[in-house]
Structure 1
């Protein structure tokens, strides 16, 4: 087993994490207009629906099978895109995921040669027994990971920059057609998924702004805890990121979504969430707290009953799919 695999994979993970942090750091500041819209939702917690862009058709019902899993994307791209444009939710989700795999592969393909060489020259003679066992476990795991990388390479062979440039639009389309993972990814990252192309397409921020209310409404209506988790963090005063810039800081709504999330939290997370609630309630009136508590209970019954928050573990990555 070649030890080079370990560094290649770790470097790829570091690149993905770096892009995530960059995206959250570069979100726009709160908009007064959008802040007013956020405040207008306080009474009900419901977002107004907005007209979807022309590229976001209603989900089409089709029995046509998708291309075989792992089929080269350069051979399936046109078919998947056409079906997605016609409202085929399954095709849109498949296209978004395949493009995402190729985007990540492209980002991790070229790494610092000196770092890789330094790792492969590492001597193991000085390692003790525990270190050697750990090292061997990592190498075994990397062998499985290398097989996955090989599958991605086969999927992405022939995929060009023009195809990869559609990544953000494809994820947005899958999100608008109801894919919950794409929805969470797009709400959190939006055009910042591809920062290299953002300057060439500033209109993509306007598209994000028009799509977010409908995505939030759909997520809450379908009982998606991903959306609740994103909102409880976005509304928190001092929060950074694209979604936080859209909704604006709001202590009342921060408390509302935090309370809703706490009501269904996994037992091992309750103590920490209770501490967060104790901090969030500071500065709120009794009437605001009572109204927020009642809203959270009602929303839980109407949309989230029986649904687990397990899809949002601490530190979950919104675009890991």
Structure 2
């Protein structure tokens, strides 16, 4: 068996190799200069979530160009915002995700700094060979997290509270333009996705109220199982979701969307959903159940193809960008 000193030397060497690897990747993947897209007469989205008027849209051959990954958001924000306001779905989706990353950075950076200090300060004295291997795996994972933080820092340098305050309006805009993940997130949480912003802009609740019906219709027409799952949950009597507060509880609608969701379910979820359906029918008439069943069959045939529970696994997060 190798001595403790030999094991520690091997670990130090491996850590050096891993560190060099990530430094090398950082150099290789460093983005080139941002691609500039000229926008004429554009203004930013207002804090309440309504899109402002755009004087002119960029040429079609420029609309597809987006900044390289991790390019500083403060440099590309105005162009992305103008394109998003002008109806560019790709720009809206990119701006939303970049703002979301920057909004999360402060908390994640603080947590990672604490975890890093605790891990690197741990003594290896007395560790067995198996414990040393586990420790090395933890160091490797820490380096991956640090690389991710560095990417976030490059993206978010100079991004202030004023820019972050547009996260919810841009979430709404991406949802309106057909970003399925944004649509699900906005329907579920709306302005509550950034509660601090809601305090500053209570009018964003009215923007949520105004946008919801069209987003639901668009999601159902697109065959989006996320929307079906959100609706069956929101219509369930007793639901405390924001969407439930807007559309109200309705046992018939709850059964209708739950039945549709069940028709598209993967086999391993069927038994659980059947139990839920049995509960949902308890206070419905035979005619109500029959009408809801017919509606669900028609909706499935017309708009939905892939399995519902594949798109919405148990515990799925509507706002996991």
Aligned to 2:252: 252
Q: Distance in 2 between matches of 1:306 and 1:252?
A: 25
Task: Provide the alpha-carbon RMSD of the alignment.
Answer: 2.8
Q: CA deviation at 1:60?
A: 9.2
Matched residue SS, 1:202: coil
Q: TM-score, normalised by structure 2?
A: 0.76
Q: 1:83 to 1:270 in 2, by over 3 A?
A: same
Unaligned runs of 5+ in 2: 1-14, 17-48
Q: CA deviation at 1:83?
A: 0.8
Q: CA deviation at 1:234?
A: 1.0
Q: Distance in 1 between matches of 2:131 and 2:227?
A: 41
Q: 1:256 to 1:86 in 2, by over 3 A?
A: same
1:39-78 to structure 2, matched below 5 A, reads 53-55=50-52, 62-64=60-62, 65-78=65-78
What is the CA deviation profile of residues 117-140 of structure 1, one whole-angstrom value per residue up to 9, with x for unaligned ones? 556545566777776655544443
Do 1:60 and 1:88's aligned partners in 2 also have CA atoms closer than 8 Å?
no
- 2:193 counterpart of 1:189: no
Q: 1:85 to 1:279 in 2, by over 3 A?
A: same
What is the CA deviation profile of residues 32-75 of structure 1, one whole-angstrom value per residue up to 9, with x for unaligned ones? xxxxxxxxxxxxxxxxxxxx955499x99933212222211011
The more displaced of 214-223 and 241-250 is 241-250
Q: Distance in 2 between matches of 1:247 and 1:191?
A: 16
Do 1:61 and 1:88's aligned partners in 2 also have CA atoms closer than 8 Å?
no
1:66-105 to structure 2, matched below 5 A, reads 66-105=66-105
Q: CA deviation at 1:309?
A: 3.7
Q: Distance in 2 between matches of 1:277 and 1:129?
A: 53
Q: Distance in 2 between matches of 1:255 and 1:265?
A: 15
Larger radius of gyration: 2
What is the CA deviation profile of residues 254-281 of structure 1, one whole-angstrom value per residue up to 9, with x for unaligned ones? 1111111111112221121112112212
What is the CA deviation profile of residues 123-181 of structure 1, one whole-angstrom value per residue up to 9, with x for unaligned ones? 56677777665554444334323222221111111111111000000110010011111
Do 2:116 and 2:142's aligned partners in 1 also have CA atoms closer than 8 Å?
no
1:120-159 to structure 2, matched below 5 A, reads 121-122=121-122, 136-159=136-159
Q: 1:254 to 1:131 in 2, by over 3 A?
A: farther
Do 1:56 and 1:87's aligned partners in 2 also have CA atoms closer than 8 Å?
no
Do 1:191 and 1:205's aligned partners in 2 also have CA atoms closer than 8 Å?
yes
Do 2:100 and 2:167's aligned partners in 1 also have CA atoms closer than 8 Å?
yes
What is the CA deviation profile of residues 65-101 of structure 1, one whole-angstrom value per residue up to 9, with x for unaligned ones? 1222221101100000011111111111110111011
Q: Distance in 2 between matches of 1:126 and 1:261?
A: 55
Do 2:261 and 2:308's aligned partners in 1 also have CA atoms closer than 8 Å?
no
1:263-274 to structure 2, matched below 5 A, reads 263-274=263-274
Aligned residues between the structures? 271
Q: Distance in 1 between matches of 2:278 and 2:139?
A: 45
Q: CA deviation at 1:187?
A: 0.8
Higher relative contact order (Cα pairs below 8 Å, separated by 6+ residues): 1
Do 1:73 and 1:159's aligned partners in 2 also have CA atoms closer than 8 Å?
yes
Matched residue SS, 1:199: helix
Q: Distance in 1 between matches of 2:124 and 2:318?
A: 37
Q: 1:276 to 1:86 in 2, by over 3 A?
A: same
1:154-303 to structure 2, matched below 5 A, reads 154-303=154-303
Q: CA deviation at 1:210?
A: 0.5
